[in-house]
Homo-oligomer: A and B are copies of this chain.
Amino acid sequence: MGLRRLILHGGLQVHSKDKLLVMAFQRRMHALPFSDIQVTDTFWSNWQNKLIEVTLPAQYDQLIGTGRLENFIRTAKGGGEFQGLWFNDSDVYKFLEACAYALTIRKDQKLLGYIDEITELVSAAQADDGYINTYIQLKFPNLRFRNLHMMHEMYCGGHLIEAGVAVQQCLGDERLLNVGIRFADHLSTVFGPEKRQGYCGHEEIELALIRLSEATENSKYRELARWMVESRGQGNSPFVAELADQEATAMWPHGSPFEVNGKYVPEYSQDHAPIREHTKVVGHAVRAMYLYIAAAELASGENDSALEEALERAWNNLVHRRMYVTGGIGPSASNEGFTTDFDLPNLSAYAETCASCGLVFWGQKMLELTGNSDYAEVTERALFNGVLSGISISGDQYFYANPLESRGTHKRTPWFTCACCPPNIARLIGSISQYVASIDEEGLYLHIPVGIQAKFTVSGEPVTIEVESDYPWSGKFKVNFKASKSLKFKLRIRIPEWSEEMETELPGAEEPADYDSGYAVFDRVWKDGDSLTVDLGMEPKWIEADPRVRDNLGRIALLNGPLVYALEEHDLGVAPQLFSPNLDALPEVTKSKVLGGINVISIDGQCDTEFESDDLYLPEGSTPSETRKAKFIPYFAWNNRGPNNMVVWVRRG
């Protein structure tokens, strides 16, 4: 398992018999291994502490209480009723993955106990031939892989593999990985170029097989993933035959977005076109993200410009036409996904928490593929807004959908019948260190100025970089260099799009920074004790949307650094839909202890005043108005004081 580590630390001077695999790992940059990077700032440390102390224990209780673990026990026993939804195994696996990451933050016996207990249950439930899916094993043991479009067997298996890789990499425990390997090996006996044609209705297995290739240094899993990604959308979908197979559809007879008026809808699962011909993001948002993560990995190091260009087209369509300002994606509930360009309704926004997690995962892969900081810009936007809004400040209540307006009917809950989001956000919070910095053979990238302590080597010499930061509450941070020797390498700091005047100070520096691909590059010999001070010039900004976004015409939103702000009725006293800010006044930023400690932004404005009237329609000019001070809070912190009216896009007065 040394290959990944070698590459991460030492660039590409790697020897291996598996040339294909080496090429595949030729990303432009890499995250540091969990053991070598720790988050140190208040903001993310708080989230990570809550993850260990609140989030994961509460999720474990839900896994027990909803019968998710019992399903494995019954499967191991050889029979019994299945409880819950057919893809519930995946929540268990994602929970394990999150526990593994959390244990790199600090040791915790409870979490270790969860992993130990559940690993045993999962191992026991696996069939002798490596197959594992408790729903199918308990309910349809003779219908394995019979309904690929709905049954999520490979999807669940993919999450098993991801969990196995995570537990092995973070804790050195190979038991769960071996379950995953056995499933993957079983899969490769059933599906493949010379075997059965097929892929999963919900992508995930592809990216998992690639992770497995990397973890096991065995290219066969990657090649199976490539075959699945490339087979998809070729016009001979296995799903068409399945939809005509009455025994298959009887496994889920209640209809699905795979079919409308008796006609197969290939877009829903990105089965509409070969991957290299994709031009727009379509269908189910999470599925699209997971497909593109795998495709971005497949493009890495391959000089596969056709694939890379297709991914860039899809990305640009997503980011420039179909993404909420919060990094929420997939506006529509009916397909949990995409609709048309510029269709971004606020009140009915679906913007599933998992989809924003998926956007972060994909964005990071695109960044590693291309080295272009634009991807980090979006990753950061999604992370601090559309992802974090999915979990309560208390760490144990969730949103599945993340609307940009509420009329008081949205409410966080501790769990969902379809509970994909809670463990997804948990694994992302646990692995936040993987998204803030990268290394390549030339040095270190800081994509997001989160406070970290990072260790790596330069020419074999150990280096420690400390970032002292109060991000996202301040745009000022320091980067301290510690090493026993002076060493030459490049330190790249991403310049966010919102930063209009970035100032840096590096005592004794002769050269100013260079600029490359959205990064300020400090290429020099670093001495122990060197300290770079950066001020990104963070201040509140009003933005507007492209006028083709009809729902935002006449509306503006307030941003501060990476954070999108929102206005709640709690803080205005009346429904914020009534409010228009006074744009002549400067928004005032103040630190507040509410909501776990946030920056509040205050601004005066005019409010339409509600009054008792029997007339629903009145002469223009009838509604009185009043001046009110609005206190905006970060969007991620909304709905933590109970349901109420909320807007992100306020009316321009």
Contacts and interface: CB of A to CB of B under 8 A. Distances in A.
Contact of A547 (B321, B557, B608): B608
A325 B608 contact: no
A549 B616 contact: yes
Interface stretch (A58-66, A242-250, A619-627): A619-627
Given A609-B547, A610-B548, A620 B577 contact: no
B320 A546 contact: no
A541 B325 contact: no
A620 B583 contact: yes
Contacts of A577: 550, 553
A543 interface: yes
A543 B617 contact: yes
Interface in A392-421: 407
Interface in A531-586: 541-550, 553-554, 556-557, 575, 577-578, 580, 583
A348 B333 CA distance: 14
Given A407-B550, A623-B547, A616 B320 contact: yes
Contacts of A541: 619-620
A316 interface: yes
A117 B306 CA distance: 67
On chain A, which size bracket covers the interface?
35 or more
Nearest to A559: B617
A228 B527 CA distance: 91
Nearest to A542: B620
Interface in A204-248: none
A618 interface: yes
A338 to B, nearest CB: 14
A278 interface: no
A546 B619 contact: no
Contacts of A614: 316, 320
A615 interface: yes
Nearest to A543: B617
A597 B348 CA distance: 39
Q: Which of A618, A620, A652 neighbours the largest number of chain B CB atoms within 10 Å of its CB?
A: A620
Given A547-B608, A610-B547, A622-B544, A616 B319 contact: yes
A444 interface: no
A31 interface: no
Given A550-B575, A553-B577, A545 B320 contact: no
Contacts of A615: 320, 546
A651 interface: yes
Interface in A596-637: 608-611, 613-623
A439 interface: no
A451 B117 CA distance: 84
Nearest to A342: B616
A138 interface: no
A323 interface: yes
Q: Which of A616, A622, A623 neighbours the largest number of chain B CB atoms within 10 Å of its CB?
A: A616
Interface in A306-321: 316, 319-321
A97 B544 CA distance: 54
A320 B614 CA distance: 6
Contact of A651 (B320, B325, B553, B621): B553
B616 A545 contact: yes
Nearest to A621: B544
A325 B543 contact: no
Contacts of A618: 543-546
A543 B320 contact: no
Contacts of A609: 547
A608 B552 CA distance: 12
20 contacts: A320-B616, A348-B348, A542-B620, A543-B618, A543-B620, A544-B618, A544-B621, A544-B622, A544-B623, A545-B616, A545-B617, A546-B613, A546-B617, A547-B578, A547-B610, A547-B611, A548-B610, A550-B575, A553-B608, A556-B620
Sort A-B residue pairs by CB-CB distance and give the 3 closest, nearest first.
Answer: A542-B620, A547-B608, A550-B577
Given A544-B618, A544-B621, 11 more contacts: A321-B616, A323-B616, A325-B617, A348-B348, A542-B619, A545-B618, A547-B578, A547-B611, A550-B577, A554-B554, A554-B580
